[in-house]
Structure 1
Amino acid sequence: MKRLVRSANSRIITGVCGGIGQYFNIDPIIIRVLAAISLFISLGITLLIYLLMTVLVPSEGDFRS
């Protein structure tokens, strides 16, 4: 089963964008660029969502399959 997790390998800050990229099978750089653009357009909502995902989405190493 495919799960959304924060990436341990493709991590720059907390691994959220890397994890989203892995989940949707997209290059994490594209996710990071979209997040950076959204950060300036959304008036801080993107930052709030990023922080919430950092807290709520488990890290890749937290799962024992």
Structure 2
Amino acid sequence: MAKLTRSQNDRMVAGVIGGIGEYFNIDANLLRIIWVIVTVFTGFLPGIIAYILLWLILPEE
């Protein structure tokens, strides 16, 4: 099974969403749209904190 890592190839900022997309075999752009929508509807801070934590926790590919 593949390991969940930050993507080197499919990245906009840090490769977090690209890595999640590769792990689950889902289009990263769709995940980015979902991430933005969820972040906006939760008041920005939870989505931003979650992204930063994933950036720090997930190893680079």
TM class by shorter-chain length? over 0.9
Superposition TM-score, scaled by structure 1 size? 0.88
Partner of 2:47: 46
Runs of 4+ in 1 over 4 A off after TM superposition: none
Partner of 1:19: 19
Would you say how many aligned residue pairs link Structure 1 and Structure 2?
60
CA distance in 2, matches of 1:48, 1:41: 14
Q: Deviations over 1:10-32 (max 9, x none)?
A: 01100000000000000000110
Q: Which runs of 5+ in 1 are unaligned?
A: 61-65
Superposition TM-score, scaled by structure 2 size? 0.93
Q: Larger radius of gyration, structure 1 or 2?
A: 1
One-letter code aligned to 2:3:
R
CA distance in 2, matches of 1:56, 1:26: 21
Q: Please state how far the C-alpha of 1:42 moved relative to its aligned partner.
A: 1.2
Aligned-residue sequence identity (percent) comes to 38
Q: Which runs of 5+ in 2 are unaligned?
A: none
